[in-house]
Every structure is written in structure tokens, then in C-alpha cells.
Amino acid sequence: MRSFTLRLAVILPLCFLGLLRPATADPSCGRDGVPINGIARPAGMDTYMYFGPDYSSDTPSPMIIVFHGTVDISNLLFQIYSETIENSTDRIWRNAIVIGPMAQEHGLWYEGARQYAPEVDALLEFMHRHYNIDRDRVYAAGWSAGAVFLGNYSYLRQTVFAGAVFHEGGGLFGVSGAQVSDRCKLPVFFQVGANDFMMPQIERHRSFLAARGHAVVFHAEAGREHGMATWPSSGITPFEWMRNHTLCGSLQPGRCEAQPVTEQSLHAQYRYLLSIMGPHLEGHIKSYGTGFAEVVRVLTVAPELEELTLLNLPDDVMQYIPKMENLTELSIEAQAMGEQGLSASKQFKGQGLRFLAGSKIRRLNLSNLTEMDSDQLLHLKQMPELKELWLSDIQLNEGSIDHLGQLSGLRRLVISGSGLDEGQLNRLKSLLSETEVFLR
């Protein structure tokens, strides 16, 4: 068996032609005219692609889609799966394809800021259309944040995958118990470290599925923390487990239709959310912060929610805020992620503020939204209950000063990192003569 070290490279345009249709062999483009060990853009999504050593378009190929962790731009899990196949002696896997789509712009699958599910749908459709994929052997794997995304996606697409592998992560957010229990029983494999900080969430995920009849393998590495138990050190491997599961063996006729989101399913998911948070909540949530768009929708049925923080979420999430009848304090923030300072602030541009018209929100905090269009502040005058406004790292101009000057009911305005000079600040104070204005 030849030695192999996976290297990642950008595919030249000539090789990219191999993504459009199976082509004749070309040594510049890898196996059977398709690129290997590289990045391409099938269906417009940056994707790592690997084709097994015995790949042939004449034979149906198993396929594994791998979702990377937070800002894991090298996609370590993709490399592990690809390298394992390269050195495998199993004829099934030597003909396999591995694809590793990249969460666009920020490397955050779980943030919900982009509608990733349709993008992944398009990628899978592209692969089925242009390659000879064995539909009974399409699998999914996710690591850390990628496993969290997979927890949602796999249970909303249970007629797609023959099995799902969760590496050091998992959870169900935005998928209610009612939806899951009435759907196909997707086989799952958990590979985790016993000391992983995500273990409580992972354990609840495992128990939730096992109680509903899913075939579950749970492998916890003793003494290992998050990031130290990506692959089993002993026992059955994900490849051995996947070999024993096919899509046709897991489907249940008449039970695989997508279930619509209803008031009942939202309440079911809210109860699941409470079970994650723990009994100290006494059955209700009064204050919550989330980076999951799906969770915001669930919180519309939270009866006592008074304070909410939204992290790295897009404008359209704001449509759910008016349904939170007792909400009085709202924070919309962006946070830098990882060593590269990646930020999701681009996702919120301010148009969503229009949804707050007529709301009962008394205190609003907008923080680090560097791409926000400050002219959107004009929507704030439609918030009759707004008394306190905090603006941090939002560039203000003459137009936005005029918009703020119309907030006659405002009692306190705190501004930092706005770029206002002394003259502009004085003009703002004159417009808001009944308001305490602070520049920090």
C-alpha cells in the first residue's frame, strides 16, 4: 500500500471542468478526470473534494459529507476521512467520495446567519446530478460546531443520509421532539471525549434519540477533553459502523415526510430547550442569549422572556421579536471569532429594525455591528416604549444624528466608538434636550 499524505490545493480551471461531468482520464486532473485533494466550487459553495484511489464513474460511489468545526478552515475532519480512505483496503470505501463544504465567510455553521440548509441541499443535488453516487450510501459527519449544524440538518433530511456521525458535538436546536419522533429513525454514531465541555448537551442529544428508537452508538474516550477525541482510539470506527448501514435499511414507508413547524412543535422544542438549560429555570426563561436563528423562533413561545441577546444573527431573525409579548430588553451584537478575528457583524445591516415597530422594548443595545447602515436607525422612532438606547462601534453620520434626534421619548442615549466629533455631539444633544446623552 502506498504512503499518502493529504495536501490541500486550489484546483486550476482546467481541473474544475471535472466537476461538471465525469471526464476521460487526465493526469493533470487526478483520477478519472476529476480533481483530488483540492478545493472547488460545486453549486457555488467552496468545498474540499476527495475521490478514493479506485474511484471510477462506472461504479456507484459511497459519499460522505463532512462539516468542519468553528473557523476550522483546514477542515481537519475532512482530512481524516480522506486519508483513512486512501489507506483503506475495503473495496467499498476505495471508490468513495468525500466532500467538505465550508461555511461561507465566517466558518460558523451553527450561527444560523446564512440559510445553510438550502446551500447544502444544492451541493448534494449537484453531486447526485454530476456523479454516479450510491444513494443508499450517503453519510454525514460533523465535528464540534459542524456536529451542531448536523444535528439540525440530518433530522430535517432523514431521507438523504444512511447514517450520521457526530464528532465531539451535537444537539437539536430548531427541530422539535414532535418532528423527530414522527420521522425516520436515522442511525447515529457519537464519538466524544468523556471530559468534553459539550458532554451534557451531547448526552441529552443521545438520550433524546435513543428514547425514540434511533440506533445509537455512543463512544466516549476516557479522560479526553474537547478536541482530543476526534477519532476512536479503540473499538468500532465510523467507517466500520457506516458499512453496516444503508439508506434503504433505515427508511420507514409513510413516516419520512417533512413535518411543518406548528405552534405545538414550537412548544415541544421549547420544552426541550428548558431540559437543556436545567431545572433551575423553574419551567420558564426570563433572560436568554443565542447565536441560533432557529432558537429565536422557538423563544416566541417562551411565556416570561424579558431579556434577549442575539449574537451574530441576520436581519430576518428580527421578525420573531414582536411575538415575544413580555420582551423589554434586546441586545443585538456581533463577536469576533478565532485567532483571525473573524466576525459575523456583516450579517446584520439594520433593515431588521423595522420589525420592532410597535414593540414593548424599553432598552435596546446595538453593539459591534460594523456593517450596519446607520440610516436604518430611522425605524427606532416607531418604538413608542423605547427609553434607553446603547450604540457601540456603529459609525454615525449627519443623517443618523437627525434620525436619533427624532426619538423624543428617549431618556438615555449612550454612544461609544461612533466617530462623532464634538460639534456633532453637541448638535445631537440639542436635538434631544430632554435626554441624557453620554459619549464614552
pLDDT 10s digits, 242-289: 999 988 655 554 445 545 567 776 777 777 677 656 555 566 788 888
Residues in the chain: 440
Q: Where are the beta strands (DSSP E) in 125-240?
A: 133-143, 163-167, 188-193, 216-221
Angle at 91 between CA 86 and CA 97, to 5 degrees: 55
User: Residue 1 falls within a domain, yes or no?
Assistant: no
Domain count, the chain: 2
Choice among 21-35, 167-181, 310-324 with the minimum mean pLDDT? 21-35
- Is the pLDDT score of 186 beyond 50? yes
Predicted local distance difference test score (pLDDT) of residue 342 = 38
Mean pLDDT for the chain overall: 78
* pTM, to two decimals: 0.60
Q: 107 — alpha (psi -120 to 50), left (phi > 0) or beta?
A: left
User: Residue 25 falls within a domain, yes or no?
Assistant: yes
Model confidence at 62, in pLDDT bands (50, 70, 90)?
A: very high
Mean pLDDT of 336-345: 41
User: Is residue 240 located within the same domain as residue 310?
Assistant: no
User: Residue 273 falls within a domain, yes or no?
Assistant: no
Angle at 72 between CA 71 and CA 74, to 5 degrees: 135
Mean pLDDT of 228-254: 82
Model confidence at 170, in pLDDT bands (50, 70, 90)?
A: confident
Q: Pick 170 or 348 by higher pLDDT.
A: 170
Mean pLDDT of 74-84: 89
Three-state DSSP class for residue 166: strand
User: Residue 413 falls within a domain, yes or no?
Assistant: yes
Q: Pick 146 or 155 by higher pLDDT.
A: 146
Predicted local distance difference test score (pLDDT) of residue 26 = 31
- The 3 state secondary structure assigned to 291-343 is CCHHHHHHHHHCCCCCEEEEECCCHHHHHHHHHCCCCCEEEEECCEECCCCEE
Predicted local distance difference test score (pLDDT) of residue 272 = 67
Q: Is 402 exposed, middle or buried (0-12, 13-18, 19+ CB in 10 A)?
A: middle
Predicted local distance difference test score (pLDDT) of residue 173 = 60
| pLDDT tens digits along 49-60 | 999 999 998 999
User: Is residue 45 located within the same domain as residue 185?
Assistant: yes
Model confidence at 178, in pLDDT bands (50, 70, 90)?
A: very low
We report the CATH number of the domain holding residue 137 as 3.40.50.1820
Report the alpha-carbon distance of residue 236 to residue 134 in Å, rounded.
23
User: Is residue 348 located within the same domain as residue 203?
Assistant: no
Predicted local distance difference test score (pLDDT) of residue 289 = 80
Q: Pick 29 or 205 by higher pLDDT.
A: 205
Report the alpha-carbon distance of residue 148 to residue 142 in Å, rounded.
8
User: Is residue 302 located within the same domain as residue 348?
Assistant: yes
User: Residue 4 falls within a domain, yes or no?
Assistant: no
- Is the pLDDT score of 8 beyond 70? no
Q: Pick 292 or 7 by higher pLDDT.
A: 292
User: Is residue 223 located within the same domain as residue 363?
Assistant: no
We report the CATH number of the domain holding residue 314 as 3.80.10.10
Phi first, then psi: what are they for 220, rounded to 5°? -110, 125
User: Is residue 85 located within the same domain as residue 139?
Assistant: yes
Domain of residue 405: give its range. Answer: 284-439
Mean pLDDT of 9-33: 32
Predicted local distance difference test score (pLDDT) of residue 32 = 42
Pick from 37, 30, 36, 34: nearest CA to 8: 37
- Is the pLDDT score of 146 beyond 80? yes
Report the alpha-carbon distance of residue 163 to residue 175 in Å, rounded.
18
Report the alpha-carbon distance of residue 212 to residue 194 in Å, rounded.
24
| pLDDT tens digits along 96-135 | 999 999 886 555 675 543 457 778 888 998 999 899 999 9
Angle at 350 between CA 349 and CA 356, to 5 degrees: 150
Model confidence at 205, in pLDDT bands (50, 70, 90)?
A: confident
| pLDDT tens digits along 293-305 | 767 888 898 888 9
